[in-house]
Amino acid sequence: MLKGISKLISPELLQVLSEMGHSDEIVLADGNFPAASHAQRLVRADGHNIPGLLDAILQLFPLDQYVVRPVALMQVVPGDTVQTPIWEQYRTIIESRTGLAEPFEEVERFAFYERAKHAYAIVATGESALYANLILKKGVIAD
């Protein structure tokens, strides 16, 4: 164990976050996402929810400051009546950690899957909320 690092961040996830460079992307995938079949690197975080992991990750690296929307959400499929209250949780966490009030771009479902295939890693979580997947684009650490 290490001081100052959330218990939600496993040694494997810490290594992946450390290896990532500027503009690399990481997917935080809900329990329904086909993580194993899409991942170049798969990190298991079963039993953890995405809001907790998002908050822990944003304490360790910045979002990309050179793009307008450094976080991507999977767009709700047209005609689907599902509500996405988890997005407001994400917005609150991101704003408190980064100051960004409007960090999201919405990506069509199949385009999101394709983008996920090229991500540096996918973190498979136990998140049960629908449309809870998100992609974070890593920024520059200047300190």
- Residue 22 is among the residues annotated as catalytic for this protein: yes
pLDDT digits (tens, 9 = 90+) for 91-127: 999 999 999 999 999 999 999 999 999 999 999 999 9
Q: What percent of the chain has pLDDT over 90?
A: 96
Q: Structure pTM?
A: 0.96
Q: Is residue 36 part of a domain?
A: yes
State the average pLDDT for the chain: 96
Sign of CA dihedral 82, 57, 48, 42: positive
3-state secondary structure of 91: helix
Q: Is residue 120 part of a domain?
A: yes
- Residue 90 is among the residues annotated as catalytic for this protein: no
First to last CA, the chain: 24
- Residue 131 is among the residues annotated as catalytic for this protein: no
Q: Is residue 6 part of a domain?
A: no
Catalytic residue among 24, 30, 55, 64: 64
Number of compact structural domains in the chain: 1
Count of beta carbons in the 10 Å neighbourhood of residue 95:
13
pLDDT band at 13 (very low <50, low <70, confident <90, very high): very high
Q: What percent of the chain has pLDDT over 70?
A: 99
Residue range 49-75: mean pLDDT, rounded: 97
pLDDT digits (tens, 9 = 90+) for 35-46: 999 999 999 999
Domain CATH code at residue 65:
3.40.1650.10
Q: Is residue 89 part of a domain?
A: yes
